[in-house]
Structure 1
């Protein structure tokens, strides 16, 4: 399962879930922007970073990593990337590291070289199979679906879909959450077709509603706007981008201006 992609998509769409995993108020996400960062001088990228919206010394940077495969060299790479990033930027914020494992058995057993950092309180290790079983938010329950046993995953997904229908009022967010739940199940049941998955989860009916279709269209437009900065960096003009993405020139300009102000 492409777990890192799922988690980064989850944090991009619902950053509050990350802070719920840390047992912090979901509102903490309002002070952050989740993105990937690149150190151009060294040609490396860190995919999961929560950067404070304002450069306030009391607000830490969070470096998030999803690790679902055993890797003896993981911590050497993880800490090296963090310190190189801090060295090459002008940020003065404190920092925290967060590593998400499916179980403790996935983590490397020999961590002697990094025990001071791991025990310092700077690094939080989260084991999904040890999260509480009751009273969790729909976001946390969606995260736990990743490690749900196959024999109970479909039933759990249907419960989450029904919970999303009842609790999530924003139609665009509801659509994104339903797609994430479906994606997790698709990766779990690779032998089934998308149509079989949709029938198993009962998603066919909701996708035919006018509200869902409108939310889908809105999400597609947002996805197109996110590609504008990249296309500009390749040398495309505003008019060319508008034509290729089937957007108005004004929409492209606004997306470019928003990126430059970040």
Structure 2
């Protein structure tokens, strides 16, 4: 019984002695398990951090690329802004010029409009005056038509009279031409006579005629020649006078008709 109690006591003592160790070991194992789990979580976090770092680096590179592109875009924007500013300044200047031109055109249009209004008023007056003038002209034309018919009849009568007078003058002229032909025949006869006298003079020279005979023959020839010249001169003056008279009559008739037509056109 004592051995059994001793064994029981030893067991209780051993159990009491080992129980804290067992508890500590159990706790250590539990802590170890938790630390392994924590280590696994830390390892997983490290992997995730590594991936995140890679992604961050990629994003940094992307951001740097964006930054370079943004810098390039900013330079382009600044250049475009400078160009746009210059273009805007030029456009403003052009707009000012256009505005000035428009103002001038507007003034010109107003001036033209006023001129057109005045022209329309003047045209209205001219139309009214033209209408009255047309009526007056029609009335005057009717009157002048009657006068023209009367003047035409009178002119025809005068032309018939002038034609008759012209015929008479032509007859007189042909009569004078007949006289001129006669004088020409007389001149031919005189020429023959002169030739005959010339032959006689030669004969007289050959026969040694006296000086009084030669002077008498020469005086007779001079008289015949002077008479022939006087006849020719008189005939020429008569013909020229008749031709001038005919021309004067025709010129008078022409001037009368022209003056009458001009007066009719003027009226």
TM-score by length of 2: 0.13
Specify which structure has the bigger relative contact order, considering alpha-carbon pairs within 8 angstroms and separated by 6 or more residues. 2
Of structures 1 and 2, the larger Rg is shown by 2
Structure having the higher helix fraction is 2
